[in-house]
Structure 1
């Protein structure tokens, strides 16, 4: 607590008067104001969890780089994208484990009492890891792009997926840092609506496309798995940062488990399954594999007389 007040420049509370002998024998009543701020932050268990996740993400990133290195460039798209997801998470967890990537959010909490006693009010200083939101804003669109590519979804629908996902992450971020209780739950409700759009596109549009393409054997299990894991994320957002019914250490552990499932486990499942179904593979030639010096990758401008000139 002292470190918080020294760093953020807020005056320290107190000193608070101790009860005198005249009032010590009376029944204490809860005070309406004057209670010192309550600081909610991760403890030793949460801090160890962050370090464990950093090590796991780092080892996963190195492993996926090694796997991608042995794959031909035209078939390397999914390998590179999953590696990028793990790399971003590695950086995020290192920031959190080393004491960065978080800020203080001030919450005004009210506690009701029975027997017509006045409500008590106190300030809660929440430790919010904004590094998680940076991680999710970068990595979840990549995961959705992968699922869209596996299913053969159109670029227009993939863009809809990504925009709905970004909306979901932003509304949860706004909910977390909102100072008004009703506004918090309003933002949170919007995040559920955005997530419903993501889930609907995965379950309906992408599933139908994968069926027509013959890639449903790979796509369907991955899509169902992703929707279930991401649903749990949204629930944890609600019971953790918003309603504060989950301890900071419990929240850190819950997110750690979900991040393992959503990233390294998802990536390993994808890479081991998509190669077994030809329809689920994505080959990228031209500029991707040969560079801009490749003639198929050159931009050509026609002159209207059947003769083209290289741009």
Structure 2
């Protein structure tokens, strides 16, 4: 029997004629998606808080100035210093609320991945540098209030104020420090050491001098200084959570600092001035240049009648 080759080809399965490979699965190719920068800045709540605190500082300044006019010039030392504190704070908050006392700190974080190159995430966080200018001017005035209240000598006052200024300037350097380097936290450590020097002058030297003046002055100094130290201790804690590790939003940072500033300035000032009116031992008078200016003998003579 003769087979037709065409029919024989039709009856043969194609799998015996053409070898085929088994299908294999292909793993997804790893890719790197470009990362967009993250901007951390104030929103409605934070901006509103800045304006509210500005108004509070203006009102406090007006109240303290009014209280100063009710006492003679010789007794206005605490009133003048305390009024300057809230005036400077008001200017600082106006600068921050209008966006003129603000800058951005650029932070780049690194993320490691398997089988693909590392990626970097850029973060731009607002830093309110006007706040550090405020603190560098107002906290020395607060220290001056407390030092005069305690009766500290000039050497201790100078050391406390210099340590205070160093504390806030190094805090500003830390706020703009680079991420992932010891620079940022090194500045923070210096600020904390300077703060301990300030506390030592207040808690040790200041308390001893205040107690020596009178038991009533010592008791009041212990209360208002303890209040101030507690409030001031909260500042570096907030900084570490907010500006240092960025665990707090910018709005949260603004609100936290606002509460502390109100306690440290208007509340502190009102407490001090009310006590000044009630405690005779601290209601002392200052004469000399503070009250009378330059005396007639100390003025500069422009003419000499004897030599005419």
Partner of 1:205: 205
Partner of 1:129: 128
Contact 2:101 2:130 in 1 (8 A): yes
Partner of 2:221: 219
Write out aligned runs for 1:142-291 (5 A): 142-181=141-180, 182-214=182-214, 215-291=217-293
Aligned length in residues: 271
Alpha-carbon distance between aligned partners in 2 of 1:28 and 1:139, rounded to the nearest angstrom: 55
CA RMSD of the aligned region, Å? 2.1
The 1:75/1:234 distance shift into structure 2, 3 A limit, reads same
Alpha-carbon distance between aligned partners in 1 of 2:213 and 2:29, rounded to the nearest angstrom: 74
Alpha-carbon distance between aligned partners in 2 of 1:244 and 1:213, rounded to the nearest angstrom: 46
Alpha-carbon distance between aligned partners in 2 of 1:69 and 1:226, rounded to the nearest angstrom: 26
Alpha-carbon distance between aligned partners in 1 of 2:112 and 2:282, rounded to the nearest angstrom: 57
Contact 2:30 2:115 in 1 (8 A): no
- Structure 2: gaps spanning 5 or more residues: 1-26, 301-308
The 1:250/1:119 distance shift into structure 2, 3 A limit, reads farther
Alpha-carbon distance between aligned partners in 2 of 1:196 and 1:256, rounded to the nearest angstrom: 23
Contact 1:104 1:125 in 2 (8 A): yes
Contact 1:150 1:282 in 2 (8 A): no
Partner of 1:15: none
Indicate the SS of the match to 1:109. Answer: strand
Alpha-carbon distance between aligned partners in 2 of 1:110 and 1:170, rounded to the nearest angstrom: 29
Q: Which has more radius of gyration? A: 2
Q: Does 1:70 align with 2:70?
A: yes
Alpha-carbon distance between aligned partners in 2 of 1:126 and 1:273, rounded to the nearest angstrom: 42
Give the structure-1-normalised TM-score: 0.82
Partner of 2:3: none
The 1:218/1:180 distance shift into structure 2, 3 A limit, reads same
Contact 1:218 1:274 in 2 (8 A): no
